[in-house]
Amino acid sequence: MTTFKTIVIDGNERSEFDASRLDAYLEAVLSEFPELDTTRYKDRIFRSVQRRREIKAENITEMLIRNALDEIETHAPDWTFVASRFYSKQLHKDTIARRGVVSYAEAVEVLVDQDVYKKELFDSYTKSELQMASDWIDHSKDGLFTYIGLLTLDSRYLAKTPEFKTLELPQERFMTIALTLMVQEPVSKRMELVKEAYWALSSLYMTVATPTLANAGKTHGQLSSCFVDIMDDSLRSIYDSNTDVATLSKSGGGIGVYIGKIRSKGSDIRGFKGVASGIVGWAKGLNNTAVSVDQLGQRQGSIAVYYEIHGKDIFRFLDLRLNNGDERERAHDLFLGVCVPDLFMEKVKAREKWYLFDPHEVRTKKGWSLEDYYDEEEGRGSYRDKYQELVDDPNISKDEVESIDIMKAIMKSQLETGVPYMFYRDTVNRANPNKHLGMIYCSNLCTEIMQNLSVTTIKEEVLNGDTIVIQKQVGDFVTCNLSSINLGRAVIDDVLERLIPIQVRMLDNTIDVNDIEVLQAQATNKKYRAVGLGTFGLAHLQALKGIKWESQEAVDFNDKLYEKIAFLTINASADLSIEKGAYPAFSGSEWHTGEYFRRRGYDSQEWNLLEAKIATHGLRNGYLMAVAPNGTTSVIAGSTASIDPIFNLKYSEEKKDYKIPVVVPDLNARTRFYYKGAYFIDQKWTLRQNAARQRHIDQSQSCNLYVAPDIKAIELLDLHMTAWELKVKSTYYVRSQAVVIDDNNCEWCQG
């Protein structure tokens, strides 16, 4: 027993510790969890407090949280919600004291005055509308957050002072997003739409992309997730592209850059033979941009570069991230993707020769570029015809290599660094619903975005002797606008029919309210009105449903589920088209002609009716679905990442002074059997699920492959062959337990 009185310090106040007051506080929180045994926990708390002469009030909260977290590993996962309650109460207390007002309507005025919130946005709403929004906020929904979810939301996304002190509450962030995305809707109905958007977000049925979650309503930052550009083979294009990449990176965008048009090492420049340095120097320039232009001071930029497997610099490209060799040939901070045609995979399978070409020489001597073609049908098409024409042309220089040697170099890099990503260009372009206006050359930072790309050209002239006029022929500069369904909640609660229409509207409105500094990206955004509705929590959902990952049942379940999601998404976009008009590039698209539906075998009555509706009234969005990685946003929503299996049933997040134990969602005696660690799963079942979903997803999926560090080359090759044969559009990381991969690289590309 202690013989001294414990003094509690709360700000400038000092008072004797009141055990009954703490007991009442604990009881108020712990009574929400009658299934938990709290006796041991409470006893430990009181003993910890009473053996100190002095203790700060906030340290008592830290003690409550830490001891609750200690209970997770040894007793019950639901202790994470106990820790979250204590964190939430402290967050509310500190935030309200810091800003001096309680209600959201009052907070808006304060944060506008402090230049945290956009004045223009909140001036668009009347005081009565803001009061209405304030009345709708339900702070009890903070109870849905796990501790790590609430901590992540607070530390990375809630509005802060310049000293990084929190100024807004979690439910206020959701309401601000809803108000931001509905601001241009007709006044007669926009508040009801705000209410519906808030319902979707606050119920954790969906998440918006990280830039939208972080920046909506604030004075700085834009709302789109990531961007894809194409470099032409000219100094002007290369440097302009680098400038655009830097501009987008500073505002919180992940970038994909196609460099397959750049001349190879040893090519000629203005007729001088053998002087070109190839792609490495330009890749290193992008690497420096990624490191130097950070994203809102939070992390360095994230850039992926994609190169063609028929380019002469392919081996140099595949070595860019290796940890050995000539450092002048390395770009360790880039992420790599390789563009792979069917013909190459056929050559690898048959162990045949492959030929490498210089794109500049081909363009100069032939008047066309090999990378501008793809095979329109399986086993036949213009790419293989043009490739063979180059092979047969004695005037075209070419490097003859073994196709399997390129594949070995790919796999070596993957096992050492996790990349390159695989982009199956023929499969992608055959499925492109907007092939009438272009071609898809590569994907984005996370391999789920598949949209038309084309070069922006520039013409300059001097006007009146003292003014230079710059004219840009705008190419397609891809923008990703993402959000994702929380499958583990939305499917279980059976709300997809209500959720998806408001989610598609939110995505579509993002295009109009966003402010992108790179104007050609803004123009492309309006031309295709592309969005990427995705999902996360698949492992969570399948565990709740009692479906084993490695089973035909899982494959069939994915097929049915994603067909339903696709139907609801396309239908919601069709309804928006009736209300607001079709995307400008709709005419002549496969959405318009109906080929999109025939290609996928959609022939039921409801699909036929939807096809007819779109043919008559159009479609609002030219691209609609994409499954992003969702590592961070799934943590906030308390579920599992993307379409991935789990890593472990339990793991720890490292913090400065202690570890935060995290348990997979809804872990119990029944679900434990259906949760299986990624490294113990036959990856072919993952690929089969991916293929079943892919039929219904017009873009792609961030699909990781998990392999043992000692996997045999023939086994990894077999996985790649399986992915290609199943018509998977892309694969993301090859994750080996021996490879450390920064999961934050694509945080901005999550929905």
Residues with a known catalytic role: 444, 446, 448
CB atoms within 10 A of CB 105: 20
8 Å CB contact between 316 and 329? yes
116: tokens are 């945290």
| CA–CA gap between residue 444 and residue 255 (Å, rounded) | 6
Closest CA to 244 of 482, 456, 468: 456
Phi, psi of 412 (to 5 degrees): -60, -45
* Tokens 């589920």, residue located: 561
Which residues, including other chains, have CB under 8 Å from residue 5's CB and lie 6 or more apart? 16, 17
Closest by CA to 82, choosing from 132, 148, 156, 29, is 29
Q: Which residue has the tokens 């339900």?
A: 138
Distance (Å, whole) CA 583 – CA 595: 17
User: Could you give the CA distance from residue 724 to residue 345 in angstroms, rounded to a whole number?
Assistant: 8
| Cβ(208)–Cβ(751) below 8 Å | yes
* Nearest alpha carbon to residue 142 among 158, 127, 124, 128: 158
Question: What gap in Å lies between CA 267 and CA 354, rounded to an integer?
Answer: 20
Return the number of other C-beta atoms located less than 10 Å from residue 106's C-beta.
15
What are the tokens at 717? 């090759």
- 46-49 — which CB contacts under 8 Å span 24+ positions? 46/19, 46/22, 49/6, 49/17, 49/22
How far is it, in rounded angstroms, from Cα 165 to Cα 307?
43
Distance between CA 76 and CA 44 in Å, rounded?
A: 17
Q: Which residues is 353 bridged to in the sheet? A: 402
**Consecutive H or E run containing 177:** helix 170-181
State how far the Cα of 349 lies from the Cα of 404, in Å rounded to an integer: 8
Distance CA 343, CA 388 (A): 10
- For residues 324 and 316, the answer to whether their CB atoms sit within 8 Å is no
Give me the helices (H) in 203-323, please.
210-215, 235-250, 279-292, 314-318
Contact 13, 57 (CB under 8 A): no
CB count, 10 Å around CB of 220? 12
Please measure the distance between the N-terminal and C-terminal CA atoms of the chain and give it in whole angstroms. Answer: 53
Strands (E), 426-578: 457-463, 467-473, 478-480, 482-486, 532-536
Q: How many angstroms from the chain centroid is the CA of residue 433?
A: 22
Tally of CB atoms within 10 A around 80: 24
Distances (CA, A) of 103 to 92, 116, 133: 11, 17, 10
Distance CA 244, CA 256 (A): 12
What is residue 273's three-state secondary structure? coil
Task: Determine the Cα–Cα distance for residues 426 and 441; give it in Å rounded to an integer.
Answer: 10
